[in-house]
Amino acid sequence: EALFRIANIFRVSIVELFRCDEAIYYLGIDGGGTKTEFALSDPEGNIVCRIFMDGCNPNAVGIEQTKRIIEDGIIQACKDVPLSSVAVYAGIAGCATGSYADEIKSMLKKMSFAACDVGSDNNNLVAAGLGESEGITMILGTGICSYVVKKEETKRIAGWGYLFDNGGGGFHIGRDALNAYFSVCDGTGEQTSLVDRMNESADYSGSEFTKYLYNGGNKLVASYATYVFEEAEKGDRVSISILKKHVSEIARLVRASLSHFSSYDEKIPVILGGGMTNQALLMTYLLDELGDDTKKCNIQILDVPPVSGALKLAKALF
């Protein structure tokens, strides 16, 4: 009877109480505004489970929903492995705000992992893209955030949330696309092919469409950024204008980040990650906007999923 109680306390099976090996699995979590990815690797580093859940930025969904998404994802990803044999690192967008990281870490500790830690999703990008090297990382997803990584300091630039950032993220591009749509509807804006795309996207009009958008929140608004890239490719003037406006903001943040390396002679690595990096037109416009500043840096799109950085950080815990 006592053994069953002990097993319940540690959330393991009776068999696990008698394990004598020290094989540790590693769980990496990459949580953004649009999606949350979980990757579980065995002790040899092989990925044995990879799942996706909804976005879990606490500034967008609330901390209780964030914890629910993370807990549900953990249960699914680790269904065949006792949590006492897992080291986990969770890099979550929005965790630099208030006590969110502490609240999530407290939840993880109660789940009896072998080791656990929580930080920003940009930590995942730094680990995956820069490793131990100095440089710059930038998340271009629902939101935007740049990190200056030097041996003596790590500094965040932007990433204060959609209410305070100047643009550059998927939410802001999607918002401007919707503004262009409504401006055409009320006769104050320039004609754009975005109108047809919006009309095709949802069977709503007028106030019903705005209600649909408000209910969908940041994630839904950000999804309309895809239309801007697609219509800009086709030559739509309004879409090109929106895209260039926000690429200009991205370039401004790159320059601000590069200013911290003014005494360096070599090219500074700039690692871009996030959903918007899947858009080929983004890099074309960004390199054009940066002009001669491209001589100071080596801009690369992260070629592995950011969750691989979370896995590295999980392994470093144990």
Tell me the pLDDT tens digit for each residue of 71-113: 999 999 999 898 989 999 999 998 877 789 999 999 999 998 9
Structural contact between residues 70 and 52, judged by C-beta atoms closer than 8 angstroms: no
How would you list the strands of the sheet with 86-92, edge to edge?
47-54, 35-41, 25-31, 86-92, 115-119
Asked if the model's pLDDT at residue 202 lies above 80, the reply is no
For 55-193, where are the alpha helices, taking DSSP H only? 58-61, 63-77, 100-110, 121-129, 170-185
Helix (H, G, I), strand (E, B) or coil at 295: helix
Q: If you average pLDDT over every residue of the chain, what do you get?
A: 92
| CA angle 54–173–193, rounded 5-degree value | 110
pLDDT for res 94:
87
In terms of phi and psi (left: phi > 0; alpha: psi -120 to 50; beta: otherwise), the region of 168 is left
CA 232 to chain centre: 24
Alpha-carbon span 306 to 68, nearest angstrom: 21
Helix (H, G, I), strand (E, B) or coil at 24: coil
| End-to-end Cα spacing for the chain | 32
Share of the chain above pLDDT 90, in %: 75
pLDDT for res 22:
65
Share of the chain above pLDDT 70, in %: 98
Helix (H, G, I), strand (E, B) or coil at 285: helix
Residue 39: name the closest of 314, 307, 315 by CA.
307
User: What is the mean pLDDT of the segment spanning 295-316?
Assistant: 95
Asked if the model's pLDDT at residue 285 lies above 90, the reply is yes
For residue 154, the tally of other CB atoms under 10 A from its CB is 12
CB-based contacts of 18, cutoff 8 Å, min separation 6: none
Using pLDDT thresholds of 50, 70 and 90, give the confidence band for residue 300: very high
Residue 57: both structure tokens together: 């930025």
Alpha-carbon span 138 to 156, nearest angstrom: 10
Residue 146: name the closest of 154, 219, 173, 285 by CA.
154
For 36-151, where are the alpha helices, taking DSSP H only? 58-61, 63-77, 100-110, 121-129
CB contact burial 274-293 (16+ within 10 A = b; e otherwise): bbbbebebbeebbeebbeee
Report the predicted TM-score, pTM, of the whole model to 2 decimal places.
Answer: 0.83
Structural contact between residues 240 and 177, judged by C-beta atoms closer than 8 angstroms: no
User: What is the mean pLDDT of the segment spanning 255-282?
Assistant: 93
- CA atoms within 13 A of residue 261's CA, in its CB half-sphere: 24
Burial class of residue 184, CB neighbours in 10 A (0-12, 13-18, 19+): middle
